[in-house]
Chains A and B, each alone.
Chain A
Amino acid sequence: MFSLDRWMEVFDTIRRNKLRTALTAISVAWGIFLLVVLLGLGNGLNNGLRYTFRREATNGIWITANKTSLAHSGYDVGRRLVFDNRDYDRARDVQGIDHISSQYFIRGGQFGGGEMLTRRGTKAGLFQINAVRPETIYLVQNEIIAGRFLNESDLADKRKSVVVGRPVVDYLFAPSEPPIGQWIIVAGVPFEIVGVFTDPMGDEQARQLYIPLSTAQIAFHGVDHINSLSFTVGDANAQQAKAITDQVIAGLAERHKFSPDDKQAVRVHNNVEAYERFSKIFLIISIFVVFIGCITLLAGVVGISNIMMIAVKERTKEIGVRKALGATPASIILMITQEAVFLTSIAGLLGLAGGVALLAAIESAAVTEMIRNPAIHIGSGVAAAVFLILAGALAGFFPARAAARVNPIHTLRDE
């Protein structure tokens, strides 16, 4: 059905009716532009959320021993709690737990062992030492870039193995020296480097070392003590995760004689809950954004319909003339619809390009950590454009059809 002559006719009409063309184009382009920007920002927020959580497993839960705040079983408040390896064994049997690890805080500090001197030859620095089980790798998002993480043999044989962050390597080693297999002195005890890791949050977060829990318990007078349990819960939802956590805490409370209702006795860091809470907020924001996008699109459609309606109305006389001269209704409908589709397509593409450009600008300007990679799926952009073009076609089609039915004599006579 391609007809060069009809295209010429369409271009001619567009070229000679600049205001009408501009109004239609702006309305369509604006609609698409806003939609693209809104959807892009919505995606950006979502990516931002994921980025915020990227350091820890989003299904991870950390339980750390603390001080009691409720009197229980004859004990007064303020008792400092310490767990041990048997707590780990018991917790491991709790249903719903995927991977479970435990950590010994070498100096009893609240978070990890604090920073201790690590030395190699004449170089020494303070780095955080984590005495953990191999399963910890499932709870952090560290990437092993050389060698391996701790394994079960390290733990079982109480090996002096250490996995170090890249900044530590950079500090202790010359760039040409391979660190794997080298020995370093950690808090006065020699350890052999078996792996190197990086942290997605950046070098500051990788200024750490991981050593086997069992080795630390012996080397640093830990007996069988542990200070924290951490585990992943598969794809459990927040409610299920809470139930699992409660079960683990109940087990701890039973053994260590503190009240399960004591909010201070153990510190719980529940990523499932946090993630789900954030997800909910962001879902609401996303829905809101999509809703506004749809409204915008609808407004765009209404705008196009309006302009098309007026345009066709304005052209009633022209249509009458064309009809009197032998235009079939089909040719009139085709002409107007083709014009509408052409206009909305070009304008839609412009709006799409404008929106994408703004998103790219936002991304490169890096306005806030909250928004990352604000981009739209090419699919949704194209879908929106196709939708608007279709709307433009319909918006042109119905008034055109009505106009094509008009009796020319009525429109052309001056009585």
Chain B
Amino acid sequence: MLRLDKVNKYYRVGTHSLHALRDVDIEIADGEFVAIMGASGSGKSTLLNILGILDDYDSGEYRLGDTLIRNLSERKAANYRNRFIGFVFQSFNLLPFKTALENIALPLYYQGVTRRKRNQIAAQYLERVGLRDWADHTPSEMSGGQKQRVAIARALISKPRLILADEPTGALDSETSRQIMDLLSEINAAGITILVVTHDSEVAARTRRMIRLKDGLVVSPHDAGASHPQLARQPQTAAES
């Protein structure tokens, strides 16, 4: 369903060139549940950008389904993002002035679905994540776990093939984290491919496969674990919006 072939990405910082991704080969099949781990600066962010069609790469090939993702216009990239990919973030990134229902409905706004229709659909997804009674609440009235459920519902509403979850439990306590991972597992069980970027080995353990990045290279799991024993202890930011 998703395939990276010798993908390279450079960042030019002044006169220097930073080789952010080196010949990255990743293949993920339909319905997989994969964790991407790595320290800060390992290229996770870059990889996430490329997978999420938010940034271009310099060489190699990225195929999403049958579509080659390269040098897309902003418009086309936005369109693909909207249709193929659902994002889940550490700090939820819900729009604070919109209700839970409106937040969930937002991707459909960009598909041109009418207000009434998209609110109808959003209500279904809200129910699916167990927040039927919270439709008219704004994010500030909800707990972290609830917000993340809303964010997941929002990621699901456009029926994406792929969900990119960036530290989805980073701002949550362990019990809520467990629930959110349960929800993601459930979604994965329904056939949606999920990619979780995380520091947390417990979260990674809930997935079925782990990809480790180190200095822009994909390394084998035991390799990376040995050279980066501090990974699991990496402090996590608890910044909240």
Mark A residues whose CB is within 8 Å of B. 5, 8-9, 12-13, 16-17, 317-318, 320-331, 407-409, 412-415
Residue count of chain B within 8 Å CB distance of chain A: 39
Given the complex of chains A and B, what is the CA–CA distance between A233 and B91 in angstroms?
82
- Closest residue of chain A to B111 (Cβ to Cβ) is A326
* With A5-B115, A326-B110, A331-B110: A321-B93 Cβ-Cβ less than 8 Å: yes
- Closest residue of chain A to B240 (Cβ to Cβ) is A414
Do the beta carbons of A5 and B90 come within 8 Å of each other?
Answer: no
Interface string of B174-208 (1 = CB under 8 A from A): 00000000000000000000000000000000000
Q: How far is the CB of B103 from chain A (nearest CB, A)?
A: 9
| Contact among A17, A320, A325, A331 for B154, CB-based, below 8 A | A325
Do the beta carbons of A324 and B54 come within 8 Å of each other?
Answer: yes
Do the beta carbons of A414 and B83 come within 8 Å of each other?
Answer: no
In the complex, B158 has a CB within 8 A of chain A: yes
Given the complex of chains A and B, what is the CA–CA distance between A109 and B164 in angstroms?
104
Q: How far is the CB of A103 from chain B (nearest CB, A)?
A: 80
Q: Provide the residues of chain B in CB contact with A327, threshold 8 Å.
A: 78, 110
Q: Provide the residues of chain A in CB contact with B74, threshold 8 Å.
A: 328-329
Do the beta carbons of A415 and B111 come within 8 Å of each other?
Answer: no
Do the beta carbons of B93 and A415 come within 8 Å of each other?
Answer: no
- Closest residue of chain A to B48 (Cβ to Cβ) is A409
Best-buried of A12, A325, A413 by chain B (most CB within 10 Å): A325
| Contact among A5, A323, A324 for B109, CB-based, below 8 A | A5
Do the beta carbons of A408 and B54 come within 8 Å of each other?
Answer: yes
- Closest residue of chain A to B55 (Cβ to Cβ) is A407
In the complex, B120 has a CB within 8 A of chain A: no
Given the complex of chains A and B, what is the CA–CA distance between A409 and B52 in angstroms?
9
Given the complex of chains A and B, what is the CA–CA distance between A407 and B81 in angstroms?
13
The 3 residue pairs across chains A and B that have the minimum distance between CB atoms: A326-B82, A16-B97, A326-B110
In the complex, B87 has a CB within 8 A of chain A: yes
Given the complex of chains A and B, what is the CA–CA distance between A9 and B108 in angstroms?
13
Q: How far is the CB of A413 from chain B (nearest CB, A)?
A: 6
Q: Provide the residues of chain A in CB contact with B170, threshold 8 Å.
A: 414
Do the beta carbons of B90 and A413 come within 8 Å of each other?
Answer: yes
- 15 A-B pairs besides A413-B45, A414-B90, A415-B40 with CB distance below 8 A are A16-B97, A323-B54, A325-B107, A325-B110, A326-B81, A326-B110, A328-B74, A329-B78, A331-B78, A409-B166, A414-B170, A414-B171, A414-B237, A414-B239, A415-B45
Given the complex of chains A and B, what is the CA–CA distance between A408 and B87 in angstroms?
11
Do the beta carbons of A317 and B93 come within 8 Å of each other?
Answer: yes
Q: How far is the CB of B19 from chain A (nearest CB, A)?
A: 19
Do the beta carbons of B89 and A413 come within 8 Å of each other?
Answer: yes
* With A326-B81, A328-B74, A407-B55: A412-B97 Cβ-Cβ less than 8 Å: no
In the complex, B71 has a CB within 8 A of chain A: no
Do the beta carbons of B81 and A324 come within 8 Å of each other?
Answer: yes
Q: Provide the residues of chain B in CB contact with A322, threshold 8 Å.
A: 106, 110
- Closest residue of chain A to B78 (Cβ to Cβ) is A328
Q: Provide the residues of chain A in CB contact with B40, threshold 8 Å.
A: 415
Do the beta carbons of B106 and A325 come within 8 Å of each other?
Answer: yes
In the complex, B241 has a CB within 8 A of chain A: yes
- Closest residue of chain B to A6 (Cβ to Cβ) is B109
Q: How far is the CB of B92 from chain A (nearest CB, A)?
A: 10
Do the beta carbons of A412 and B111 come within 8 Å of each other?
Answer: no
Q: Provide the residues of chain A in CB contact with B93, threshold 8 Å.
A: 317, 320-321, 324, 412
Residues in B80-126 with C-beta less than 8 Å from chain A: 81-83, 87, 89-91, 93-95, 97-98, 106-107, 109-111, 114-115
Do the beta carbons of A326 and B107 come within 8 Å of each other?
Answer: yes
Given the complex of chains A and B, what is the CA–CA distance between A225 and B166 in angstroms?
108
List 18 interface pairs A-B (beta carbons < 8 Å), by A numbering. A5-B109, A318-B95, A323-B54, A325-B82, A325-B107, A326-B78, A326-B79, A326-B81, A326-B82, A326-B110, A326-B158, A328-B78, A329-B75, A408-B54, A409-B48, A413-B45, A414-B170, A414-B171
Do the beta carbons of B158 and A5 come within 8 Å of each other?
Answer: no
Do the beta carbons of A328 and B89 come within 8 Å of each other?
Answer: no
Q: How far is the CB of B82 from chain A (nearest CB, A)?
A: 2
Q: How far is the CB of B10 from chain A (nearest CB, A)?
A: 16
Given the complex of chains A and B, what is the CA–CA distance between A12 and B101 in angstroms?
14
Do the beta carbons of A414 and B91 come within 8 Å of each other?
Answer: yes
Q: How far is the CB of B67 from chain A (nearest CB, A)?
A: 15
In the complex, B59 has a CB within 8 A of chain A: no
Q: Provide the residues of chain B in CB contact with A326, threshold 8 Å.
A: 78-79, 81-83, 107, 110-111, 158
Interface string of B33-54 (1 = CB under 8 A from A): 0000000100001001100101
Residues in B188-241 with C-beta less than 8 Å from chain A: 237, 239, 241
- Closest residue of chain B to A325 (Cβ to Cβ) is B107
Q: Provide the residues of chain B in CB contact with A407, threshold 8 Å.
A: 49, 54-55
Q: Provide the residues of chain A in CB contact with B45, threshold 8 Å.
A: 409, 413, 415
Do the beta carbons of B241 and A317 come within 8 Å of each other?
Answer: yes
Q: How far is the CB of B169 from chain A (nearest CB, A)?
A: 13
Residues in B136-152 with C-beta less than 8 Å from chain A: none
Q: Provide the residues of chain B in CB contact with A317, threshold 8 Å.
A: 93, 241
Q: Provide the residues of chain B in CB contact with A329, threshold 8 Å.
A: 74-75, 78
Do the beta carbons of B75 and A328 come within 8 Å of each other?
Answer: yes
Q: Provide the residues of chain A in CB contact with B241, threshold 8 Å.
A: 317
Q: Provide the residues of chain A in CB contact with B166, threshold 8 Å.
A: 409, 412-413
* With A326-B81, A409-B52, A409-B54: A321-B109 Cβ-Cβ less than 8 Å: no
Do the beta carbons of A324 and B87 come within 8 Å of each other?
Answer: yes
- Closest residue of chain B to A324 (Cβ to Cβ) is B87
Given the complex of chains A and B, what is the CA–CA distance between A69 and B156 in angstroms?
105
* With A325-B110, A325-B154, A326-B158: A17-B87 Cβ-Cβ less than 8 Å: no
- Closest residue of chain A to B97 (Cβ to Cβ) is A16
Q: Provide the residues of chain B in CB contact with A320, threshold 8 Å.
A: 93
- Closest residue of chain B to A332 (Cβ to Cβ) is B78
Q: Provide the residues of chain A in CB contact with B81, threshold 8 Å.
A: 323-326
Q: How far is the CB of B148 from chain A (nearest CB, A)?
A: 14
Q: How far is the CB of B210 from chain A (nearest CB, A)?
A: 20
